[in-house]
Amino acid sequence: MPSRSDLGPKPRLGYTDSRIERAAELRPDAAAIAALSRDPNAAAYVIGGDWIVMKKGSPLHEPLFTLAEAQALSGPTETIFLGLLNGAPRFGHGLSPQTAEALKSRDTLHVTDLRSIAVQGLVASEHLPPIAEAKAVLHWHARHRFCPNCGIATRLVQGGGRRDCPQCKAEHFPRTDPVVIMLVSDGERCLLGRSPRFVPTMWSCLAGFIEPGESIEDAVHRETREEAGITCGRVVYFASQPWPFPASLMIGCHAEALTHEIVVDREELEDARWFSKDEVEVMLMRKHPQGLTTPPPVAIAHHIIRAWVENEIRFD
Ligand SMILES: [Zn+2]
Distance 165 CA to ligand 1 centre (A): 5
The CA 53 to ligand 1 mean position distance, Å, reads 33
- State the 10-residue block means of pLDDT for the chain, 316 residues long: 73 93 96 96 97 97 97 86 98 96 97 96 96 97 96 97 98 97 96 95 98 98 98 98 96 98 96 97 96 96 97 90
pLDDT value for 74: 83
Asked if residue 166 lies in contact with residue 155, where contact means CB atoms within 8 angstroms, the answer is yes
pTM to 2 decimal places: 0.94
> What spacing in Å lies between the alpha carbon of 156 and ligand 1's midpoint?
13
How far is the centre of ligand 1, averaged over its atoms, from the C-alpha of 159 (Å)?
A: 20
Residue 6 is predicted with a pLDDT of: 79
Could you tell me the distance, in angstroms and rounded to a whole number, from the CA of residue 141 to the centre of ligand 1?
15
Report how far ligand 1's centroid is from the alpha carbon of 148 (Å). Answer: 7
Three-point CA angle 213, 15, 156, nearest 5°: 70
Per DSSP, the residues of the chain read: --------SPPPPTT-----B--GGGTT-HHHHHHHHT-TT-EEEEEETTEEEEE--SSS-B-EE-HHHHHHTSSS--EEEEEEETTEEEEEEE--HHHHHHGGG-TTEEEEEHHHHHHHT-S-GGGHHHHHHHHHHHHHHHT-SB-TTT-PBPEEEGGGTEEE-TTT--EE----EEEEEEEEE-SSEEEEEE-TTS-TTB-B-EEEEPPTT--HHHHHHHHHHHHH---EEEEEEEEEEEETTTTEEEEEEEEEES-------TTT-SEEEEEEHHHHHHHHTT--TT--BPPPTTSHHHHHHHHHHTT-----
The pLDDT score that the predictor gives to residue 2 is 52
Taking the centre of ligand 1 as the mean of its atom positions, its distance from the CA of residue 138, in whole angstroms, is 20
Please tell me the distance between residue 166's alpha carbon and the centre of ligand 1 in angstroms.
7
Q: From the CA of 258, how far away is ligand 1's center (Å)?
A: 49
CA of 146 to the centre of ligand 1 (A): 8
pLDDT at 160: 97
Distance (Å) from CA 46 to ligand 1 centroid:
29
Residue 160 CA to ligand 1 centre (angstroms): 17
Ligand 1 centroid to residue 211 C-alpha, Å: 26
pLDDT at 77: 81
| Beta-strand pair 206-209/177-185 | antiparallel
Distance CA 43, CA 65 (A): 5
- Centre of ligand 1 to C-alpha 31, Å, is 25
- Cα(220) to ligand 1 centroid in Å equals 36
Ligand 1 geometric centre to CA of 173 (Å): 13
**In angstroms, what is the span from residue 170 Cα to ligand 1's centroid?**
5
Report the separation in Å between the CA atom of 164 and the middle of ligand 1, taken as the mean of its atom positions: 8
Ligand 1 mean position to 155 CA, how many Å? Answer: 11
